[in-house]
Amino acid sequence: MFPEEAAFSSAAAEAFVWSREGMTHLLAAADSRFLSAVSHPAEALTEEDVQRFLNSLDSYGTEVLKMRIYGTLPFPVQQTPALVVSSEADRGYPPCLDFIPALRLREFRAPGEITLAAYPGLLFRVAIYGLLGYALFLYLTTQNYERAGRDLQVLSRQMDKRIMMVDAAKGPPATDYAAVRQELNKKLTSQPSPVTVLDLLARTLPKGSYLTTVNLNERNLEVWIMSREPLAVLKALAGEKGIRNLQLQGPLNLEKKTGEYAINVTMEIAG
């Protein structure tokens, strides 16, 4: 919508009559300004209504000398020496729009109303400028990343040189004993502890038997046992699941004073 004053630029005093959507509209303008307008149902409009509208314009101090009728009316309007009546084709829109040479809608925009730019090309240029700005931003960002990458490469080479200089000042690298330590730890882990071996023998030997000598080499064990019943000792050791490869070394020596036999055996502690 726009003010009626914006629709008239002619200085001539004229009246306009047109029908649209069941209503007939009468409008008058003079001196490049809107004067008055009325609307009637198209079927109920009479010649008296038209004359009454023209007479009401006398209050504006303006004499309408010309009337333009767009389309047809249900009655003829009589032309008089003081009023020139012309008939024109119905345009399908208010005829006063034909008299608008240019219209600055920005001046009549309602507060808070959002409108598109008057020039469609402006939106296109704004979009192009936005894309160009974004492309420039990406280019500068890429350049910064590349420059930072080159700086990091230079710093890395400098650090490598300093490390080489420090290593050269320290002399030849020390011998790596990692493999030896690993092998030693492996053997220590696989070899049973003396406490475990003594506990095994104490649980296995018959009552009244005791140890005099114990030699442990990894899992190989050599012991001297004193007992009054050597066969029971050998039988007990042979039946123990934690002992393998039991062998008697030499003859059984009898101590006449105590009546005990000295038994020398070798065995392997099971893993």
Residue 69 lies in a domain: yes
Q: Which of 108, 128, 149 is the last residue of a domain?
A: 108
Cβ–Cβ < 8 Å for 206, 231? no
- Label residue 34 by pLDDT band (50, 70, 90): confident
Read off the CATH number of the domain in which 249 is found: 3.30.70.2830
The answer to whether 72 touches 17, Cβ cutoff 8 Å, is: no
247 in any annotated domain:
yes
The tally of domains found in the chain comes to: 2
**Residues 211 and 201 sit within 8 Å (Cβ to Cβ):** yes
CATH number at residue 100: 3.30.420
CA atoms in the 13 A half-sphere facing the CB of 157: 5
Enter the tokens of residue 111.
């507060």
User: What percent of the chain clears pLDDT 90, i.e. is strictly above it?
Assistant: 15
> Is 28 a member of any domain?
yes
Q: Domain for residue 168, yes or no?
A: no
**Stretch 80-89: mean pLDDT:** 82
Buried b (16+ CB within 10 A) or exposed e, 77-113: beeeeebeeeeeeeeeeebbeeeeeeeeeeeeeeeee
On whether residue 211 sits in a domain, the answer given is: yes
Distance, in Å, from the CA atom of 159 to the CA atom of 148, rounded to the nearest integer, reads: 16
Inter-residue contact 19 to 42 (CB < 8 Å):
yes
Q: What is the C-alpha separation between 123 and 112, in angstroms, rounded?
A: 20
pLDDT at 246: 92
pLDDT of residue 1: 40
Has residue 120 been placed in a domain?
A: no
Question: pLDDT: is 231 or 170 the higher one?
Answer: 231
Could you list the residue range(s) of the whole structural domain that residue 37 is in?
4-108
Top pLDDT among 248 and 127 is at 248
- Has residue 167 been placed in a domain? no
Of 46, 80, 108, the residue that ends a domain is: 108
The residue out of 81, 108, 135 marking a domain boundary is 108
Q: 137-141, 213-217, 244-248: which range is least confident on average?
A: 137-141
